[in-house]
Amino acid sequence: MEKVNVLGAGMTKFDKYLNRSLSFLGQEALSNALADSGIDISKIEAAYVGNAMAGAILGQESIRGQVVLSGTELEGLPVYNVENACASGSTAFHLAWMSIASGMYDVVLALGVEKLFHKDKMKTFNAFRGSTNVEALHSFPGKGNNDAQSMFMDVYAQEAREHMNKYGTTIETIAQVAVKNSFNGSLNPYAQYQQAKSLGEVMNSRMISDPIRLLMCSPIGDGAAAIILCSEKIAAQYSTKSIYVASSVVLSGKTKTSDDKDPAGTRTALKAYELAGIGANEVGVVEVHDGAAPGEIWAYEHLGLCSKGEGGNLLLSGETQIDGKIPVNPSGGLIAKGHPVGATGIAQIVELTWQMRGEARQRQIKNKPKVGLAYNNGGYLNGESAAISINILKS
Amino acid sequence: MEKVNVLGAGMTKFDKYLNRSLSFLGQEALSNALADSGIDISKIEAAYVGNAMAGAILGQESIRGQVVLSGTELEGLPVYNVENACASGSTAFHLAWMSIASGMYDVVLALGVEKLFHKDKMKTFNAFRGSTNVEALHSFPGKGNNDAQSMFMDVYAQEAREHMNKYGTTIETIAQVAVKNSFNGSLNPYAQYQQAKSLGEVMNSRMISDPIRLLMCSPIGDGAAAIILCSEKIAAQYSTKSIYVASSVVLSGKTKTSDDKDPAGTRTALKAYELAGIGANEVGVVEVHDGAAPGEIWAYEHLGLCSKGEGGNLLLSGETQIDGKIPVNPSGGLIAKGHPVGATGIAQIVELTWQMRGEARQRQIKNKPKVGLAYNNGGYLNGESAAISINILKS
């Protein structure tokens, strides 16, 4: 297979953009990635566009990518519209990667874009239903059946309680994820929230789904992120700061059994490490899916950054802070940078790219990391994430 | 690139299935394709699932493929959810093809599934809006802006009037598409409508959007279709009736200008022929996207089966009938076989497979064709189809 290079990375600030269209946001991210790459737009041969919620919120289904790219020079190209709930962006990236790896194309765009804010808030809240099995909503934990707003927070809450019961993790430890990530977000001009929060502020914020409180949750947000991928031949012509995709894996959850020892996150991580030919100890920077704070702790365990049950202790050790041994979510993660669903997975890769090039300014990790990993997951089905995607970059 | 083989093909009858779920229909098509292939389900490594309308009609967004495959042995695999309006199925097929061509996988599933019937008919009618630019509905021809039901029929009607004015094509000629396809459908046990219609019946049916009448339109329908693709290595073990993908192309429409000489259908066809290394004169069986009857006539022209403006005459010559020189829509096409949107593009390939193997029973084309072509298109943006997909099979 062809070696696949990250030629350009760009994103919008994640924010509330009631008066900007999906295409405005998507094209801003595209422009930023193009400027970063130095390549002309006419060289792009195909576009993979991830979006999860425009159908439910805006009524824009089916040809989301064509609409977003309408009026640009990319009109007429193959446009692939990819959905995979909160992992839509990384799944679009994965298919874009495959298209270069296969030798099909030399230069492609992976774009993630989302507008979650809507004047009618119920449109946003109810949109999350569509990322579950709508014929089996009764199987949702907590009060999900009646309140789409917090369905996914109910899932995080249930799994947090299980982790607390089984391993003695405390809610204060979980809250420290939000403390760390809000601090990182305070250093990131692209983050939706740029204010560091104290443990007290997190623990005293409004209860959303016991034990999950408001400041432990990723917010509603709008935004877009774009990556331009290219073959080795093209990279040699354009890039002096080459970063390439060492492995790209997408899997789905299986129906969870009570003695489940094989969570989808772990399966995906093992495969991603195997294909990249590395172990967890070689990773120098990680972006994970902290849809709510406990998600980051499970991610440590799924990724093998620590053993099962030790996620809370790894966090408390400080090693996942920006100045730690294995920084996680230096961007601020979903909690602080924000979570415009379809954009999230690609924004994670934008952050890895900047960190690995040494371009992350105030939040730059010392000694530019040589290996970066992005862990994106989404949807909920039969007790697990419906989709998991892990991408590993190397420089 | 690896040679990509069609190992198995299967579909449900297209019909009205108010009491069957999306997953019931999808799994029936999967079972039929598996039985046809002779391969065990455990050999499938990934699933590409096309669906266009489950979001708008059923509220099922984002993880449609995982929901459809839930409870099967395919749980846990990479599942790629692909949207491209009425071309969703063929776009899923294209990505499935790419994954084998690239050497990434040896056996994959391409599945298209749709449920359009709903107790609340307005849900179905309004769902079609999502396949246009919802921020620019005012640009729609005819009364589309006020009546989502007939938006796409307004497009067909406008282009039909243009063809009639420019080339002298008559509405009776266009109606003959429906006569031919309803006859073919009468021979197809998988068709939603299995009754041959006379010219008088078509011309006297209710006016939908002048000059398009009811029996010239594809109906609302439910159903699923599945293809199992495999590498040459696997095909050698399982298949004694090898059919392979000679080319697979997906493109998007460009903003149409008044002097447009380069419609997306023609661009796509030229590329598909070039990659397959054949000319239009070598094709032995064709399935095209007769969303309404005039669509088949334009398809003749885009595909180079005749020159521009000659589509009506080609039809009247009888050469596109099952016993003609270049049979088109032997399945009955969208008009008679039906058009469960996400399933359509894959059902076209199922029909080609059966025809090329000599398994199409009553509607079998004499002298099994050695080359088959499927032309699927969908959505509407800036005056053109938003998505066009052409797949060419060879035996």
Instruction: Give contacts of A130 with chain B, Cβ < 8 Å.
Output: 55, 59-62
Only one residue has tokens 């446009």, namely A79
Interface size, chain A vs chain B, as Cβ–Cβ contacts under 8 Å: 208
pLDDT at B144: 46
Our CA-based measurement puts residue A325 at a distance from the nearest CA of chain B, in whole angstroms, of 32
Is A81 within 8 Å of B79 when comparing Cβ atoms? no
Instruction: Give contacts of A59 with chain B, Cβ < 8 Å.
Output: 56, 129-130, 134
Query: What letter represents residue B354's amino acid?
Result: W
Residue whose C-alpha is closest to residue B92's, from B373, B341, B335? B341
**Looking at the predicted structure, is the pLDDT value of residue A145 above 50?**
no
User: What one-character-per-residue DSSP string does B58-121 give?
Assistant: H---S-HHHHHHTTSTTTTS-EEEEE-GGGHHHHHHHHHHHHHHTTS-SEEEEEEEEE---SSH
Our CA-based measurement puts residue A201 at a distance from the nearest CA of chain B, in whole angstroms, of 34
Q: Work out the number of other CB atoms within 10 angstroms of the CB of residue A321.
A: 17
Separation of alpha carbons A88 and A218, rounded Å: 17
Residue whose C-alpha is closest to residue A14's, from A171, A159, A225, A190? A190
Are A347 and A14 in contact by the 8 Å Cβ rule? The answer is yes
Separation of alpha carbons B18 and A51, rounded Å: 29
- The token pair at B248 is 């697979």
Identify the burial level of B299 via C-beta atoms within 10 angstroms of its C-beta, where 0-12 means exposed, 13-18 middle and 19 or more buried: buried
pLDDT at B145: 44
Mutate to test the interface with B, among A151, A252, A257, A262 (most CBs of B within 10 A): A252
pLDDT per residue over A333-372, tens digit each? 999 999 999 999 999 999 999 999 999 999 999 999 999 9
pLDDT per residue over A193-244, tens digit each? 999 999 999 999 999 999 999 999 999 999 999 999 999 999 999 977 789 9
- The token pair at B104 is 């990434």
Instruction: Give contacts of B384 with chain A, Cβ < 8 Å.
Output: none
Can you give the C-alpha Rg of chain B in angstroms?
19
Smallest Cβ–Cβ distance between A59 and the set B134, B250, B264 belongs to: B134
Instruction: Give contacts of A95 with chain B, Cβ < 8 Å.
Output: 80, 95
Identify the burial level of B110 via C-beta atoms within 10 angstroms of its C-beta, where 0-12 means exposed, 13-18 middle and 19 or more buried: buried
Is B104 within 8 Å of A104 when comparing Cβ atoms? no
Is B62 within 8 Å of A253 when comparing Cβ atoms? no
pLDDT per residue over B168-188, tens digit each? 999 999 999 999 999 999 999
Are A82 and A378 in contact by the 8 Å Cβ rule? The answer is no
- The token pair at B105 is 């996988």
The share of chain A scoring above pLDDT 70, in percent, equals: 96
- The token pair at A106 is 């030399």
Identify the burial level of A307 via C-beta atoms within 10 angstroms of its C-beta, where 0-12 means exposed, 13-18 middle and 19 or more buried: exposed
Confidence of residue A262 (pLDDT cuts 50, 70, 90): confident
Are A273 and A248 in contact by the 8 Å Cβ rule? The answer is no
Separation of alpha carbons B283 and A188, rounded Å: 57
Are A222 and A15 in contact by the 8 Å Cβ rule? The answer is yes
**Known active-site residue A339:** yes
Smallest Cβ–Cβ distance between A250 and the set B78, B102, B130 belongs to: B78
User: What one-character-per-residue DSSP string does A93-132 give?
Assistant: HHHHHHHHHTTS-SEEEEEEEEE---SSHHHHHHHGGGGS
Identify the burial level of A362 via C-beta atoms within 10 angstroms of its C-beta, where 0-12 means exposed, 13-18 middle and 19 or more buried: exposed
Q: Which residue has the higher pLDDT, B25 or A102?
A: B25
Q: A94, A118, A289, A339: which one is catalytic? A: A339
Per-residue pLDDT of chain B (395 residues; tens, 9 = 90+): 899 999 999 999 999 999 999 999 999 999 999 999 999 999 999 999 999 999 999 999 999 999 999 999 999 999 999 999 999 999 999 999 999 998 899 999 999 999 999 999 889 988 988 888 888 776 666 554 445 557 889 999 999 999 999 999 999 999 999 999 999 999 999 999 999 999 999 999 999 999 999 999 999 999 999 999 999 999 999 977 789 999 999 999 999 887 777 789 999 999 999 999 999 999 999 999 999 999 999 999 999 999 999 999 999 999 999 999 999 999 999 999 999 999 999 999 999 999 999 999 999 999 999 999 999 999 999 989 999 999 999 99
Smallest Cβ–Cβ distance between A135 and the set B21, B83, B131 belongs to: B21
Our CA-based measurement puts residue A159 at a distance from the nearest CA of chain B, in whole angstroms, of 20
Instruction: Give contacts of B83 with chain A, Cβ < 8 Å.
Output: 61-64, 81-83
Separation of alpha carbons A58 and A26, rounded Å: 15
pLDDT at B134: 86
Alpha carbon B105 to chain centroid, angstroms: 25
Our CA-based measurement puts residue B25 at a distance from the nearest CA of chain A, in whole angstroms, of 14
Is A83 within 8 Å of B70 when comparing Cβ atoms? no
Smallest Cβ–Cβ distance between A382 and the set B70, B132, B134 belongs to: B70
The share of chain A scoring above pLDDT 90, in percent, equals: 87
Supply the pTM of this predicted model: 0.96
> Any long-range contacts for A202-209 (C-beta under 8 Å, 24+ apart)?
A202/A175, A202/A178, A203/A171, A203/A172, A203/A175, A208/A150, A208/A153, A208/A157, A209/A142, A209/A143, A209/A150, A209/A153, A209/A154, A209/A156, A209/A157
Is B66 within 8 Å of A135 when comparing Cβ atoms? no
Are B332 and B182 in contact by the 8 Å Cβ rule? The answer is yes
For the question of an ipTM over 0.90, the answer is: yes
Catalytic residues of B: 86, 339
**Cα dihedral B329/B334/B338/B341 (nearest 10):** 130
Cβ-based neighbours of B261, under 8 Å, separated by 6 or more: none
Separation of alpha carbons A349 and A112, rounded Å: 11
Separation of alpha carbons B46 and B347, rounded Å: 19
Our CA-based measurement puts residue B345 at a distance from the nearest CA of chain A, in whole angstroms, of 14
